[in-house]
Amino acid sequence: MNTKITSFIFALIFSFSAFAQKSILFLGGIAHLGNGEVIKNSAISISNGKFDLVADATNIRIDPSAFDTIYKIYNKHIYPSFIVPNTTLGITEIDAVRASNDFREVGTMNPNIRSLIAYNTDSKLIKTIRTNGVLIAQVTPRGGLISGQSSIMYLDGNNWQDAELKSDDGIHINWPSSYYKTGWWGEPGKNKKNSKYNSKINELDYVFSKARSYFLDSKIIDLKMESMKGIFSGDKNLYLHADISSDIQDAIYFAKKYDVKNIVIVGGEDAFGAKKILTKYNIPVILNRVHRLPNSQDSHIHQPFTQAKKLQDANILFCLSYEGDMEAMGARNLSFTAGTTVAYGQEYEKAVQSITLNTAKILKIDHLVGSISKGKNACFFISNGDALDMTTNNVQRAFINGKEIDLNNHQKELYRKYKK
Please report how many Cα atoms fall inside a 13 Å half-sphere around the Cα of residue 172, on the Cβ side.
30
Q: pLDDT at position 186, please?
A: 74
Angle at 419 between CA 414 and CA 420, to 5 degrees: 115
Q: pLDDT at position 285, please?
A: 98
Q: pLDDT at position 188, please?
A: 76
Give the predicted TM-score (pTM) of the model: 0.92
Greater model confidence, 190 or 367: 367
Mean per-residue pLDDT for 8-30? 63
Q: pLDDT at position 8, please?
A: 45
Asked if pLDDT for residue 175 goes beyond 90, the answer is: yes
Q: pLDDT at position 3, please?
A: 53
Asked if pLDDT for residue 98 goes beyond 90, the answer is: no
Among candidate residues 366, 354, 266, the one with its CA nearest the CA of residue 255: 266
Mean per-residue pLDDT for 80-97? 93
Q: Provide the residue ranges of all domains of the chain, joining segments of one domain with +.
A: 82-370
Mean per-residue pLDDT for 361-378? 97
Mean per-residue pLDDT for 301-329? 94
Contact 237, 169 (CB under 8 A): yes
β-pair partners for 174? 241
Asked if pLDDT for residue 138 goes beyond 60, the answer is: yes
**Counting Cβ atoms within 10 Å, is residue 238 exposed (0-12), middle (13-18) or buried (19+)?**
buried
Pairing outcome for strands 263-267 and 237-242: parallel
Q: pLDDT at position 187, please?
A: 78
Mean per-residue pLDDT for 365-382? 97
What's the CA gap between 101 and 163, in Å, rounded? 19
Beta strand ranges found along 204-332 (DSSP E)? 237-242, 263-267, 285-287, 318-320
CA-derived radius of gyration, the chain: 23
**Phi (first) and psi of residue 80, to 5 degrees:** -70, 160
206-233 pLDDT tens trace: 999 999 999 999 888 999 999 999 999 9
251-303 pLDDT tens trace: 999 999 999 999 999 999 999 999 999 999 999 999 999 999 887 777 889 99
Q: pLDDT at position 4, please?
A: 53
Beta strand ranges found along 57-183 (DSSP E)? 69-72, 77-80, 82-87, 134-139, 146-154, 164-174, 179-183
Cα 323 to Cα 272, 273, 287, 292, 334: the distances in Å are: 19, 20, 9, 11, 10
Q: pLDDT at position 373, please?
A: 97
Under DSSP, is residue 250 helix (H, G, I), strand (E, B) or coil? helix
Q: What is the share, in percent, of the chain residues with pLDDT greater than 90?
A: 80
Mean per-residue pLDDT for 125-148? 96
What average pLDDT does the chain have?
91
Q: pLDDT at position 18, please?
A: 39
406-416 pLDDT tens trace: 999 988 899 99
Q: pLDDT at position 17, please?
A: 39
Q: pLDDT at position 331, please?
A: 94
Q: Which CATH class is domain 82-370?
A: alpha beta
What's the CA gap between 149 and 351, in Å, rounded? 28
Mean per-residue pLDDT for 307-325? 95
Contact 225, 218 (CB under 8 A): yes
Q: pLDDT at position 2, please?
A: 54
Mean per-residue pLDDT for 145-172? 96
